[in-house]
Amino acid sequence: MWIPAVILLVVAGTANAAHLAAAGPFPAKLNLERALPTRGVGVEHLKARDRARHGRSLLGASFTPAGVVDFPVEGSSNPFTVGLYFTRVKLGNPSKEFYVQIDTGSDILWVTCSSCSGCPISSGLNIQLEFFDPEKSSSSSLISCSDDRCTSALQTEEAVCSTSGSSSSLCSYSFQYGDGSGTSGYYVSDTMYFDTVLGNEQTVNSSATVVFGCSNSQSGDLTKSDRAVDGIFGFGQHELSVVSQLSSIGVAPRVFSHCLKGSDNGGGILVLGEIIEPGIVYTPLVPSQSHYNLYLESISVNGQILSIDPSVFATSSAQGTIIDSGTTLAYLAEQAYDPFVSAIVSSLSPLVHSIPSKGNKCFITSSSVDESFPSVTLNFKGGASLPVKPEEYLLQQVSVDNSIVWCIGWQRNHGSGITILGDIVLKDKIFVYDLANQRIGWMNYDCTLSVNVSTSSVKNEYLNTEQLNVNGASHTGSVKLLSTSIAIVLVYILMLPNLRR
């Protein structure tokens, strides 16, 4: 029986934060949900879907996060199936709950609206799809072209207005994806509801007004029901993004973190706040970029730096290295791919044998993958190294008796100088997106364990639960978060006892 090669983990993250006048902002968290289609999906399908999302430009997003909130996690990270991470958001008055895919590679939060054309009405993910109707929400208001928020979005091409010149015309959007699918609609302002966990372990119902997209048309893959959700929740850096909206009104810090489980149980943690586990290393973000671009300097295989011209990784309009949790696989710049694959092949254990395959290099071995294949390290500016295990650059293809077929999971980005690091690389690691200080940090981590989270924007680079530096009269709290894969969640709230000025 032939089993298609796939990689699980189509991940993106959301976050939730609180709006509290007296207590100030605290970490917010939405646990990730995953569900699976009923059949496997081939690598070519995954590559096609990744190409589709790579055709997107980062959009403006909005989302009002909650405090520390955990949801049941569904599905599995079995590498022979493909998963989807999603969470629930509550919008409108009376509120309705929507399932939205979490996407750090875009900005806009949009949900399907009642007038949507071509939108799926059922989902193979065993979830009930909903439709947002602005006319049935007492707190909803439409964004016009004369609204300052629309004017700002027009400047970044995240909005479209009629050429008729009417100031009362709706502020609209139209996003076309690389595979020809797309969505269009108009912007709405309405209430989002979320929970805030206070330092006394009390959970408070909170809300904030946010701008999000109301989709009235979808095409291409977005119309298919097998993986349908109610919308997409972007987490980019633009003014309409969740981080920007919430930080601008003092609801949350300008930092978010995730830890995505790569095990069969799936799920993970994503928080609006900074995970402060010791050992996290940081590298600067490339400034003035719409994506999360980093300065990749070199690639090492078994500790040996590959002979790749550093200019291959330089950032420009046609080059660069992007962290994107919404991409399933990883894509190396054209000029870096062959040296990488050659180094892997030359470092294989004698117990590994190459086998004929179409496209990717494939191998068969009866030994453990860690013993059979070399380690890889991505070296970034500032001395920050990102270790990559064999399971994080290989795809398990099929089992033959006591042997397993593995194929290179990193793809050649044909005709492109862009390197994209997707979920195959990001899983089983803490990632911190510190937008206030324009840096990204990471460390290997067992994402089934709890993590310490802080909302302080002024602190030492390395922190633990015993000691924090607080600038002036600002207050810093630490929340202990625990990733879950079943129904019961344990959340530890730790207020740090030792505060120093």
Indicate the burial class of 100 (C-beta count within 10 angstroms; 0-12, 13-18, 19 or more).
buried
Q: What's the token pair of residue 382?
A: 């500032």
CA–CA distances in Å: residue 61 to residues 166, 316, 414, 417, 457: 25, 24, 29, 27, 22
Structure tokens at 65: 């996060």
Cβ-based burial of 500 (10 A; exposed 0-12, middle 13-18, buried ≥19)? exposed
Using alpha carbons, list the distances in angstroms from residue 69 to 95, 120, 199, 246, 253.
Answer: 17, 28, 14, 17, 17
**Which sign does the torsion angle of CA 306, 310, 314, 318 carry?**
negative
Evaluate whether 319 touches 327 at the Cβ level (below 8 Å): no
User: 112 to each of 95, 297, 319, how far by Cα in Å?
Assistant: 15, 41, 34
Specify whether 148 is catalytic.
no
* DSSP code of residue 234: E
Q: Report phi then psi at 300, rounded to 5.
A: -115, 140
Distance of CA 33 to the CA centre of its chain: 13
Q: Which of 70, 179, 190, 324 is catalytic?
A: 324
CB atoms within 10 A of CB 114: 14
Residue 103 among the catalytic residues:
yes
Cβ within 8 Å of residue 26, ≥6 positions away? 17, 18, 20, 67, 68, 196, 197, 198, 199, 273, 455, 477, 479
User: Considering 50, 70, 103, 428, which one is annotated as catalytic?
Assistant: 103
Provide the 3-class DSSP secondary structure of residue 14.
coil
| Contact of 228 with 122, CB cutoff 8 Å | yes
Tell me, letter by letter, the H, E, C secondary structure of 394-453.
EEEEEEECCEEEEEECEEEECCCEEEEECHHHHCCEEEEEECCCCEEEEEECCCCCEEEE
Q: Is 259 helix (H, G, I), strand (E, B) or coil?
A: strand
Burial class, 257, CB count within 10 angstroms (exposed 0-12 / middle 13-18 / buried 19+): buried
DSSP run (H or E) holding 299: strand 296-301
Which residues have CB under 8 Å from 355's CB, separation 6+? 362, 363, 364, 405
| Active site residues per annotation | 103, 324
